[in-house]
Chains A and B, each alone.
Chain A
Amino acid sequence: MYSGPVIDSDVHHARSADSELIPYLSKGWREYVTDRGPAGNVALTVQDGLPNPHGFMRADTYPAGGGEPGADYPTMRDQLLSASDVRRAVLTFGDDSHLAGHHNPYFAAELARATNDWSIDSWLGQDTRLYSSIMVGSQLPDVAAEEVRRHAANPRMVQVMLVDNPFNKPFGHPIFHPIYAAAEETGRPVAIHGGAGGWANPPSTGGGSVSTYFETHVLWPQAIQTHLVSFIAHGVFEKYPRLRLVLIEGGSAWIPSLLWRFDTEFKGLRREVPWLKRLPSEYFAQHVWVTTQPLEVAPKKENVVELLRSMSLEDHLVYSSDYPHWDADEIDYLATRLPAEWHRRVFFGNACRLYGWEEEDVAPPQQVAEKER
């Protein structure tokens, strides 16, 4: 059991209908997507992905009054925010998070702008505990950077989120660097959320496109691993030394193995990347955080703990529920899998460091309300 303060770093808020988002599009784009006769509107979300036979949502999260899981604030409040001492929750969108999977880069950029404004208007005003990711259409990195800067003065827009990969080049590639320049400049971490592999881009695994959701879910970490290696190898943290990176929903027990391999390979192949001044694992230690869900489950939980401890991951793990998705991890469950002396850091302190929050400022809801009066 853990009854202390919690920051949840992956909460998927959603919308139940296109009509919620369309008003946030410019007049021209509204005209583009709507009133297309018998064919219906142009789809706002990427129509791709492997089907989960259970559905992607926890069946109990469908709002009693109708609508989609994650789309109803009172349901989220009761099931998630108020069910434990959640001080802050970072919203990470639903299907709209895949907007970088759109083939039309201009449409994606417009959707990013609209989606962010929808998130601010529809969610952040409802509860002071809610914070939002900034979606970007990474197809146009310079436009994406401007979108990041547009939210610079809003402390509730806390991270720049990348999911789908429009160029089939891992996210460390210089083509994406304008986004990281803006993230560093505005003090926002970059978040890479797993799961793009099952959608439009890139191919779902490094070995080829798999056939079932079962396979792609097992291999979820592959894309995250590729992006992490790419970030470090391309010297993103040398170029943007204040940049922070959080890897969402990619697992964590593989990290020691990858970093051991990464360090060893660097010793022999440094010539190719002389801009790296430190071992890859040292960049990781300074710049990277990792969300907990889905925590790998070994028959002996000590085996996972030992692996995580070998790379000091107790100082890098940040709790994430993944609510309202089917594979969400509960706080009490996670508390049984990790040592008690890690709990405060994993559920609270590490996320404060990630987002640049002072722990004493992350108060319970009633204290927040009093401060604001």
Chain B
Amino acid sequence: MRIDVGAVSDFEQRRVRIVNAGNHEVGVLRWGERFFAVHNRCPHQSGPVCRGIVSGRLTSRVPGSMEVDEETPILACPWHGWEFELERGRALWDPHYAVKVAPVHVESGRVVLEVRRGPAA
């Protein structure tokens, strides 16, 4: 089902807003003009991953260098710091380990989330 979670202008840059979506919480992030959504449950110890820190992805060409990839938003779980990229939810150290993502897009200035189950009672 589709859930209208608000106007684009309601979403602050680089801040995750947690919304109810079906029987669970989903975090919606605005990053520039792009939106990302992930379920608020870390695959590690079920921590509230969406309450973690958002940043660009830190990278390095050679040991000792520190660069940031601003095209790739990263969410770090507040419980143990495990980092996930938000495009596909994949852990930075293992592409097979991921936080669950939810489709999200903009329609006529509104942010629309797609989830499988109906809204929580």
A267's nearest neighbour on chain B, judged by CB, is B82
Q: Determine whether the beta carbon of A268 is less than 8 Å from that of B66.
A: no
B58's nearest neighbour on chain A, judged by CB, is A274
* Cα distance A305–B81 in the bound complex, in angstroms: 34
Q: Determine whether the beta carbon of B81 is less than 8 Å from that of A275.
A: no
Q: Determine whether the beta carbon of A238 is less than 8 Å from that of B62.
A: yes
Most buried by B among A266, A270, A274: A274
Q: Determine whether the beta carbon of A275 is less than 8 Å from that of B82.
A: no
Q: Determine whether the beta carbon of A239 is less than 8 Å from that of B62.
A: yes
Which chain B positions have C-beta within 8 A of A274?
58-60, 66-67
Interface check B65, CB cutoff 8 A: yes
The residue that A268 contacts in the complex, of B62, B64, B65, B82, with Cβ under 8 A, is B82
* Cα distance A176–B94 in the bound complex, in angstroms: 31
- The 8 A CB mask of B49-83 against A (1 = contact, 0 = none) is 00000000011111111110000000010001111
- The 8 A CB mask of B4-29 against A (1 = contact, 0 = none) is 00000000000000000000000000
* Cα distance A267–B66 in the bound complex, in angstroms: 18
The residue that B63 contacts in the complex, of A239, A266, A268, with Cβ under 8 A, is A239
A271 and B83 in contact, given A266-B93, A279-B93 (Cβ under 8 angstroms): yes
- The 8 A CB mask of A263-287 against B (1 = contact, 0 = none) is 0001111110111001100000000
Q: Determine whether the beta carbon of B91 is less than 8 Å from that of A275.
A: no
* Cα distance A234–B65 in the bound complex, in angstroms: 11
Interface check A174, CB cutoff 8 A: yes
Interface residues of A in 20-45 (CB under 8 A from B): none
Q: Determine whether the beta carbon of B63 is less than 8 Å from that of A275.
A: yes
Which chain B positions have C-beta within 8 A of A268?
80-82
Q: Is the interface of B mostly helix, strand, loop or mixed?
A: loop
Q: Determine whether the beta carbon of B92 is less than 8 Å from that of A270.
A: yes
- The 8 A CB mask of A175-195 against B (1 = contact, 0 = none) is 000000000000000000000
Nearest Cβ in chain A — how far from B85, in angstroms? 12
Interface check A137, CB cutoff 8 A: no
Which chain B positions have C-beta within 8 A of A270?
58, 83, 92-93
Q: For chains A and B in complex, what number of residue pairs have CB atoms within 8 angstroms?
A: 46
Interface check A70, CB cutoff 8 A: no
* Cα distance A239–B62 in the bound complex, in angstroms: 7
A275 and B60 in contact, given A266-B93, A267-B93 (Cβ under 8 angstroms): yes
Q: What band does the interface of chain B fall in when counting residues whose beta carbon is under 8 Å from A?
A: 20 to 34
Q: What band does the interface of chain A fall in when counting residues whose beta carbon is under 8 Å from B?
A: 10 to 19
Which chain A positions have C-beta within 8 A of B92?
270
Interface check A251, CB cutoff 8 A: no
A269 and B81 in contact, given A274-B58, A274-B59 (Cβ under 8 angstroms): yes
Nearest Cβ in chain B — how far from A96, in angstroms? 32
Nearest Cβ in chain B — how far from A274, in angstroms? 4
* Cα distance A102–B65 in the bound complex, in angstroms: 33
Interface check A235, CB cutoff 8 A: yes
Which chain A positions have C-beta within 8 A of B81?
267-269, 271
Which chain B positions have C-beta within 8 A of A278?
93
Q: Determine whether the beta carbon of A234 is less than 8 Å from that of B63.
A: yes
B69's nearest neighbour on chain A, judged by CB, is A274
Which chain B positions have C-beta within 8 A of A267?
44, 80-82, 91, 93
Which chain B positions have C-beta within 8 A of A239?
62-63
The residue that B58 contacts in the complex, of A174, A266, A271, with Cβ under 8 A, is A271
A234's nearest neighbour on chain B, judged by CB, is B63
- The 8 A CB mask of A103-145 against B (1 = contact, 0 = none) is 0000000000000000000000000000000000000000000
* Cα distance A35–B66 in the bound complex, in angstroms: 55
Residue pairs across A and B with Cβ atoms less than 8 A apart, 8 shown, are A235-B62, A267-B80, A268-B81, A268-B82, A270-B92, A271-B76, A275-B62, A279-B94
Interface residues of A, Cβ cutoff 8 Å to B: 174, 234-236, 238-239, 266-271, 273-275, 278-279
Extra A-B contacts (17), CB below 8 Å, given A267-B82, A271-B83, A279-B93: A174-B64, A235-B62, A235-B63, A238-B62, A239-B62, A239-B63, A266-B93, A267-B81, A268-B81, A268-B82, A271-B81, A274-B59, A274-B66, A275-B60, A275-B62, A275-B64, A279-B94
Interface residues of B, Cβ cutoff 8 Å to A: 44, 58-67, 76, 80-83, 91-94
Closest 9 CB pairs of A and B: A235-B63, A268-B81, A275-B60, A274-B60, A275-B63, A274-B58, A268-B80, A267-B82, A239-B63
